[in-house]
Structure 1
Amino acid sequence: MHRLFVALRPPPPMRVQLVGLMGGGSGLRWQGDEQLHLTLRFIGEVDHHQAEDIAAALGSIHAPPVTFALRGAGLLDRRGVPDTLWAGVTPHDGLRLLAERIGQALRRVGVPIESRAFLPHITVARLSRHAGPIDDILARWSSLASSPVTVAHFGLYESSLGGEGARYEAIARYPLAST
């Protein structure tokens, strides 16, 4: 089985900026540079044959390159308990269009429709259930801002879960080109 997702990899200067803000807090597991990505669609567990169909379907997507900047931060929660610190990105329009086209391509090969609303972000830390107060960390991240970057490709990734967190491997890369 393969645990897959589709994502954009932020360019190196943006990743350096994110890594530079990381640190501190009790019960936070900061993401490493190799883990930083903007998820366009989480797919989940699929068998080898469906993974091949997914890879082929993603190759049929035509969309322009996307431009975005880092802007602010926030928390995601699970059952009312914060578990993820994320860096915000803006604007959402190009990212939303690309995510919609990815969703359409995936539906054609039997991947169910995503039920969650699309919130473009980059996960920067995971919080344990016993994380200490993070108000000071959230305040530091809330002023996050960067210059816009343009990304001209997206990728299909495989996620392997382990004791030290997830490890991501790029399976395929797809170009974005103005039409």
Structure 2
Amino acid sequence: MANNHHYFFAVKLPYEVKTYLNRWVQMHDAHYPFKRWVHPEDYHITLAFLGFAEKEMLDQVLSKVADLLKNEDSFELTLNKLGIFGPAKSPRIFWAGVKESDEINLLQKKVFKACLDTGFKLDKKPFKPHITIARKWGIEKPLEHEKLPELKNSEGGDFSFTISEVALYETHLDQSPKYREYTLFSL
């Protein structure tokens, strides 16, 4: 196996998005007692999680994804809300979401198909674009997720940004940040 690391394709977020989310976390983390906050450099939107991969399969999927991305254009996304995965009394994931986007949905379908066509066994859950910001709720009291605020820019408007890169990331669970760019593709 290729160094026993996990691999995944993800939308690489611009610096200003990572900075914005990190500032939000620093201002609000005391109100949301999660056990593990994600390092800001690790913020991303996963398109396809590959898991462990042999180098030969990685090379094959990288070639397929490179071919399909060479004709893709950059696109806009807008942060909109916070949410959780898991029950309110013990959420597993705390995330920042983006407004519905045909562009990211189509991009994910193409990358996902390239991975399946290469032979990867992927999670078939419906795609829900999100940026994980914390994991594992830390107290007994349930999170009042229906009261989570919307994400806005400093003037109270939408926080929009351009997506212009997709990365294949390699995990390093013993490090922080945990994810390293293995390959980067420009849109």
Taking structure 2 as the reference length, the TM-score comes to 0.81
Q: Which residue of 1 aligns with 2:103?
A: 94
Aligned residue pairs, count: 172
Q: Does 1:7 align with 2:14?
A: no
Mark the runs of 5 or more structure 1 residues left unpaired by the alignment. none
User: Residue 8 of structure 1 contacts residue 38 of structure 1 at CA under 8 Å; is this kept in 2?
Assistant: yes
Q: Which residue of 1 aligns with 2:47?
A: 40
User: Residue 75 of structure 1 contacts residue 84 of structure 1 at CA under 8 Å; is this kept in 2?
Assistant: yes
Q: Which residue of 1 aligns with 2:80?
A: 71
How far off is 1:81 after superposition? 4.1
Mark the runs of 5 or more structure 2 residues left unpaired by the alignment. 153-157
After superposition, where does 1:43-54 map in structure 2 within 5 Å? Answer: 43-54=50-61
Structure with the bigger percentage of strand: 1
After superposition, where does 1:1-179 map in structure 2 within 5 Å? Answer: 1-22=4-25, 23-24=29-30, 25-61=32-68, 62-77=71-86, 81-128=90-137, 130-133=138-141, 135=143, 139=147, 141-145=148-152, 146-162=158-174, 167-176=178-187
Evaluate the alpha carbon distance shift between residue 171 and residue 3 of structure 1 in structure 2; reply closer, same or farther with a 3 A threshold: same
Evaluate the alpha carbon distance shift between residue 45 and residue 58 of structure 1 in structure 2; reply closer, same or farther with a 3 A threshold: same
Evaluate the alpha carbon distance shift between residue 133 and residue 18 of structure 1 in structure 2; reply closer, same or farther with a 3 A threshold: farther
User: Residue 27 of structure 1 contacts residue 132 of structure 1 at CA under 8 Å; is this kept in 2?
Assistant: no
The whole-number CA distance in structure 2 between the counterparts of 1:51 and 1:86 is 28
